[in-house]
Structure formats: structure tokens, C-alpha cells
Amino acid sequence: MNNPAIADPLHPITWPEGFKAAASFTFDVDAESCTIAHDPTSTRRMSLMSHQSYGPKIAVPRLLAILARQDIQATFFIPGFTAESYPDVVRQIVDGGHEVAHHGYLHEPMQGIDAATEASYIDRGLEALAKVAGVRPVGYRAPWWELNWHSPGLLADRGFLYDSSLLDGDAPYRFAVAADDPRDIVEIPVDWTLDDWEQYAFYPGVTGSGVIESPAKVLEMWTLEAEAHHSQGSCFVLTNHPFISGRPSKAVALEQIMERVKAMDGMWVTTMENIARHTKATVTEVHTHARIEVPVFPGAGAQFKPAVVRQGVLA
């Protein structure tokens, strides 16, 4: 790039020797779970169910072949229900040397649920991944990227190393699970620009605008994003859904972006777990997140509790 991007000033990070930026290719293997969670009656729609099952049945094997050809280790966020429904596919992911991470049990709607209910979803997902693949994941991505303020504490209680659901940075950072809690976890931020859902997702009456973008346009956009992250030394995280980006032309474009990212000088292409472990071991600053309380609306104003930064201990 002629004009290098300006680095995230709040979350400085250095990468392992020989690397100047990082990238991770991640896949949310939702399959039928996301449509069922949105509307349980969707199970009556045979065509819709076939649209979702394309992910584990056709797309995941295709994507695994692409990843093997590109010699890339990826991170697969898998709902527990998907693991139970397609155990052989999950085992193929593990056998391919990829990271398996947590993505709820049935891709449950998370907004506004209480801590006990959310804990039950997390625990059921953990049980399913352990039973199917013998995996105890260290990473979590909330369905629809929707964390609650109590979510980080639940993750810390269960020994998670990192989350990837927040959108307030370009580089990984450590954050306190609560203002008065000494524990922290790593956040690896995401961005809707780098999610295939916003580019390709469409099913009548379920989601999307009906405009399905050209893979050529998406490749250009994601290349620009990767170049910017590379130039500013941050972390490029691409989120794909197999039932979307595992379709033929989209999969071809996805492999092309992999090739372009790999060719960037000093780009560390690795799993989210490796990025999180490096962050935990090298970053000392621990952030909190600003909180806004609005007791009554309108007319009563709002209370803003700013974020702070404290010093933590290296892992």
C-alpha cells in the first residue's frame, strides 16, 4: 500500500520473531442450528434444512481440502448441536490439525439472557464437543457475536483463554472479566466487513437483502482489509460460514485470499489459539470496557463509566 494504515493506538502488540502482523481464517460451522434457534418451525422446511446442511455435508470437506493444499491451520467455531449431528465431520476437522472452538450449543439467541441460562448453553456445548471430538476448547465465539456483560465471567469460570465476539479493536488485547475481578481473558476482535454473512447470505424469509455479491468484489474488499492489517501490524480475522463460503465460486475466491495473505511479508497465518496464547504471554495491559447505564429513558439522562487500563501478569 502506498499509504500504510495507522495502527490501533489502544492495543499495541508485537508478534513472534520474524512476523510483523497476524492473520487467522475462522469458520462458524452453524449448519442447521442458526435457523432453528431463530425459528424452531424452520425444521419443517425441507429446502431450508438442505441449504444449511450443505455446510457440513459438502462445504467442510471442500474447505478442509483447500486448507490442506494451502498448508493453513484454521479455527472452527462449532455449536454443540452441529457436533452431535455431524460427528464424523467434526472428527475430520480435528484430524486435519485444526482448532475446534465453542460457538454455543444451538446457536442460541444471546441478547439479554440471564447468566444461569447462558451458563447452561455453554456447558451443553462443552459436553457435546468433549463427547464427539474429545476436545476441551479454549476459544469462544458468541452466536451472532452477542456477548452479555456477565459472559466473560462465565468463560473465565470454565477456563477459556479467549473470546472472539467484540468489535472494538484491530489487534488482540486482554480484558478484565469484570471491573472488580482480577481475572482476564484475551479478546481477538472481529469486524462485520470480514464476515461472509454480510456479503453472501440470503434465504427467502430468513435472512439477507436478496443481493448476493460477486466473489470478485468480496475478494477485492478482503484483500484491501488484509493489506491494511498487514501494513499496520495488526490482526486480520476472517469469518466464514461453510454453507455460504463453501459454495464453488466463493470457495475459489476464499482460496485466493488465503494465497494473497500468505504471500504478505512477515504475516503470521495461524490459529486463534496461537494468537491468544501469544497475546496472553506478551501483553501486560488489561482493559475494562466502558459501561453506560440508562435508568429511565427518556428524560433521566445516562451514566457513563469509562474504561480503564491496568497492568496484568504475563502468562
Give per-residue pLDDT as tens, 72-83. 999 999 999 999
Other beta carbons within 10 angstroms of residue 113's beta carbon come to: 17
What is the predicted pLDDT for the residue at 305?
76
279 against 179, higher pLDDT: 279
Q: Give Cα 260 distance to the centre of its chain.
A: 21
Q: What is the pTM of this model?
A: 0.94
Strand partners, 186: 162, 174
Residue 80, classified by CB atoms within 10 Å of its CB into exposed (0-12), middle (13-18) or buried (19+), is: buried
How far is the C-alpha of 251 from the C-alpha of 245, rounded, in Å? Answer: 6
Residue 88, classified by CB atoms within 10 Å of its CB into exposed (0-12), middle (13-18) or buried (19+), is: exposed
What is the predicted pLDDT for the residue at 144?
95
Q: Are strands 173-176 and 184-187 parallel, antiparallel or unpaired?
A: antiparallel
Asked if pLDDT for residue 254 goes beyond 80, the answer is: yes
Asked if pLDDT for residue 301 goes beyond 80, the answer is: no
Q: Give Cα 28 distance to the centre of its chain.
A: 7
Residues 240 and 190: beta-carbon distance below 8 Å? no
Portion of the chain with pLDDT greater than 70, in percent: 97
Short-list 262, 269, 312, CA closest to 287: 312
Asked if pLDDT for residue 299 goes beyond 80, the answer is: no
Stretch 104-133: mean pLDDT, rounded? 97
Phi/psi at 23 (5° precision) = -145, 145
pLDDT band at 4 (very low <50, low <70, confident <90, very high): confident
**Grid coordinates belonging to 236:** 486480520
Asked if pLDDT for residue 211 goes beyond 90, the answer is: no
